[in-house]
Structure 1
Amino acid sequence: MNCLQTWPEPIVRVQSLAESGIRKLPNRYIKPHNERPQLTLLNPQDDINVPVISLQDLFSGNESLREATLASISSACREWGFFQVVNHGVDPELMKRARDTWREFFEQPLEEKQRYANSPDTYEGYGSRLGVEKAALLDWSDYFFLHYMPPSLRKQEKWPSIPNSCRNLITEYGNEVVRLCGTLMKILSINLGLEEDQLQNAFGGENNDIGACLRVNFYPKCPQPDLTLGLSSHSDPGGITVLLPDENVPGLQVRKGNNWITVKPAPNSFIVNIGDQIQVLSNAIYKSVEHRVIANSVKGRVSLALFYNPKSDFVIEPMKQLITKDRPALYPAMTFDEYRLYVRTKGPCGKSQLESLKSLR
């Protein structure tokens, strides 16, 4: 996949800006008025939250409880595009260690982190911007991006060696979350009326054949959070995303109709959302949903997003079983690599990039 080899201008680390004591945002981070969060009106109804679903009844042997869980996930995928899962089988202590270890990485001196500085050809490493448009408005965040699956793409020399536990932890955490993704793919497939392995096969087959990558997000505290965003509105280009949130500092917002709902993380939960490739495969029965991240003036946040994606050269198109006379195929066939290149140059752009594919039919 051809992409720019260098960033169009010098990279500024957002964490360094935050720690310099600035009281006003640089203009590069100030969003247009219609994109700024209304921090005094985050949730008009405080009890609104994305659905929280326990997975324990999927394996209880009780068929009625299993069916109720499947129905809850189906409803969440159709109505929200987002849901939280608890009792998911991943050790809460591992989840805590993952957050703590990555927070420790971002607390390292800048020169240590700079050893892993990334470029836009793969994004792998320590970064501070998405998209390669010169003079683009930027988000208030740094990140670390790495490839996890297939195993042939893992470059452990590019993974942080400080703290000492980081590389082993990435492997342990990655294995557990990829396993969870395999379970979720079966659930989505069954709920669409397909054979349980059909979505997985459309992604490339077994877990070793699919793509998975991890982006660890660091959102430093911000002097003027009402003027910027930690991450601009977008839908995820891949398959499904499993996010380990910062339980102490909410920041993720999900678009629901004309409103932005601030997600309140449940204890020991993962936040799951549908990506563009599942929207294509399901012929828009399931929809990827716009989401964004707000900044905080008091505390920084760490979150871990694992993206579970199709094999890069697999052609993705609506499943034939989900195409009818009344619901023709909405999207053209395209490999994930082609789609990823299609969206990469501009960075986060709401849903406009996926919706524009319909004009290519």
Structure 2
Amino acid sequence: MMNCLQMWPEPVVRVQHLSDSGIRVIPERYVKKPSERPSISEPVDKEINIPVIDLQNLYSDEESLRQETSSLIYDACSKWGFFQVVNHGVSHQLMAATREVWRQFFQLPLELKQQYANSPATYEGYGSRLGVEKGISLDWSDYFFLHYLPMSLRDQTKWPSVPDSCRELVAKYSEEVVKLGGKLMKIFSVTLGLRENHLEQAFGGEIGACLRANYYPKCPQPDLTLGISSHSDPGGMTLLLPDECVPGLQVRHANNWITVKPVPNAFIVNIGDQIQVLSNATYKSVEHRVMVNSEKERVSLAFFYNPKSDVLIKPVEELVTEDKPALYSPMTYDEYRVHIRIRGPCGKSQVESLKSPK
């Protein structure tokens, strides 16, 4: 993986520290352009939500129920790029405990968290910015990023040792979410008309899996900034454990921003750019962003399920036809994410730039 910089180009400011300091005006670096601010685009119908799908129905004895659920997944991936899953097999208690242990981590004294401060060389650890380009607009959030797979990258000594249960919970949680990701990859393959293990093999047979715990502090001017700017996820897919008590995730759908209403004990699943490329844009990676608010903090856990870093990703041959030729040029995931790591979140510009010249 590229090491674009060993150190951040500017001093890193912890957003939580800014929030706790009692400021009433946010620094200019966090103020978004008027067209990007969350108050600009409100959803037409506030009752709209992303699809909610019961995975248990895929294993029903009734073929009609299995077919209906497969159709719902196909529609969600092709029209929304997002859906929520219930009855997914991951322990609800484990989900709640893992989210809570991260909430406790972010409430620790700054000097303890600073021991895990990250650098752009690997991103692993406690961070407060995503792009390394000097002078870029910043988001109102802190995070902790860590690797789970491949095993060669997993180093639990880099994971927080406090709270005491953090490392154990993260390991158990990651193991369960990887299993769920594997199930979903098979479902995506079948619903695309491919053999069950096709996408997993296209990922190189050895996945990359990493976790980003997101912390969105209270913000005195939430109408001027974002917790994460609009972007599509560069990897394969993301399984998000949201903060059920504080909405914040917005998904772009039909040119409107839809605020997602989390279902209790559900994961929010979204298609990443690599599956959009493999499916030749049948399945869509969709722009999304995160709002912040002035009254409550938010904690969410984003689990990224990615291809092997050095495998060429290109449209699956079976999904390329005369009517729909290959839309994207081959590129490894390592090459692809360099762009994101330099500039930070930037809409759909990266995956669109991959399109083959006509």
Q: 1:74: which partner in 2? A: 74
Of residues 329, 343, 348, the one that matches 1:346 is 343
In 2, Cα distance between the equivalents of 1:353 and 1:317?
15
In 1, Cα distance between the equivalents of 2:53 and 2:92?
16
In 2, Cα distance between the equivalents of 1:12 and 1:359?
40
Q: 1:26: which partner in 2? A: 27
Q: Shift of the alpha carbon at 1:273?
A: 0.2
Q: 2:109: which partner in 1? A: 109
Alignment-mate amino acid for residue 30 of structure 1: V
Q: Shift of the alpha carbon at 1:61?
A: 2.5
Within a 5 Å distance, the mapping from 1:204-219 to structure 2 comes to 204-205=204-205, 209-219=206-216
Q: 1:16: which partner in 2? A: 17
Q: What is the aligned-residue RMSD (CA, Å)?
A: 1.1
In 1, Cα distance between the equivalents of 2:181 and 2:283?
16
Q: Shift of the alpha carbon at 1:135?
A: 1.3
Q: Shift of the alpha carbon at 1:299?
A: 0.3
Q: Deviations over 1:243-264 (max 9, x none)?
A: 0000000000000121100000
Structure 1 runs not aligned, ≥5 long: none
Q: Shift of the alpha carbon at 1:359?
A: 5.0
Alignment-mate amino acid for residue 20 of structure 1: S
Which runs of structure 1 show a deviation greater than 6 angstroms over 4 or more consecutive aligned residues? none
Alignment-mate amino acid for residue 219 of structure 1: Y
Q: Deviations over 1:267-318 (max 9, x none)?
A: 1110000000000000001110000000111000000000000001111000
Within a 5 Å distance, the mapping from 1:197-208 to structure 2 comes to 197-205=197-205
Alignment-mate amino acid for residue 113 of structure 2: K
Q: 1:260: which partner in 2? A: 257
Question: Helix, strand or coil for the counterpart of 1:194?
Answer: coil
Q: Shift of the alpha carbon at 1:22?
A: 0.5
Q: Shift of the alpha carbon at 1:133?
A: 1.1
Q: 2:273: which partner in 1? A: 276
Within a 5 Å distance, the mapping from 1:1-361 to structure 2 comes to 1-2=1-2, 3-38=4-39, 42-205=42-205, 209-359=206-356
In 2, Cα distance between the equivalents of 1:110 and 1:359?
47
Q: Shift of the alpha carbon at 1:351?
A: 0.1
In 2, Cα distance between the equivalents of 1:63 and 1:172?
33
In 2, Cα distance between the equivalents of 1:111 and 1:244?
27
Task: Go from structure 1 to structure 2 and tell me whether the alpha carbon gap of 1:314 and 1:60 turns closer, same or farther (over 3 Å shift).
Answer: same
Alignment-mate amino acid for residue 163 of structure 1: P
Question: Helix, strand or coil for the counterpart of 1:168?
Answer: helix
Alignment-mate amino acid for residue 242 of structure 1: L
In 2, Cα distance between the equivalents of 1:323 and 1:250?
39
In 1, Cα distance between the equivalents of 2:76 and 2:241?
18
In 2, Cα distance between the equivalents of 1:75 and 1:99?
30
Q: Shift of the alpha carbon at 1:110?
A: 0.2
In 2, Cα distance between the equivalents of 1:47 and 1:9?
42
Q: Shift of the alpha carbon at 1:360?
A: 5.8
Question: Helix, strand or coil for the counterpart of 1:345?
Answer: helix
In 2, Cα distance between the equivalents of 1:180 and 1:304?
15
Alignment-mate amino acid for residue 109 of structure 1: P
In 2, Cα distance between the equivalents of 1:315 and 1:343?
18
In 2, Cα distance between the equivalents of 1:222 and 1:341?
30
Q: Shift of the alpha carbon at 1:76?
A: 0.4
In 2, Cα distance between the equivalents of 1:169 and 1:360?
47
Question: Helix, strand or coil for the counterpart of 2:112?
Answer: helix
Structure 2 runs not aligned, ≥5 long: none
Q: Deviations over 1:106-143 (max 9, x none)?
A: 00000000000000111100000011111111000000
Greater mean alpha carbon deviation, residues 43-52 or residues 237-246: 43-52
**8 Å Cα contact 2:46/2:258 also seen in 1:** no
- Determine what percentage of the aligned residue pairs are the same residue: 68
* TM-score computed with the length of structure 2 as normaliser: 0.98
Alignment-mate amino acid for residue 283 of structure 2: Y
Question: Helix, strand or coil for the counterpart of 2:46?
Answer: coil
Q: Shift of the alpha carbon at 1:195?
A: 0.2
Q: Deviations over 1:174-231 (max 9, x none)?
A: 00000000000001000100001000111122xxx21011001000010000000000
Question: Helix, strand or coil for the counterpart of 1:148?
Answer: strand
Q: Shift of the alpha carbon at 1:42?
A: 3.7
Aligned length: 357
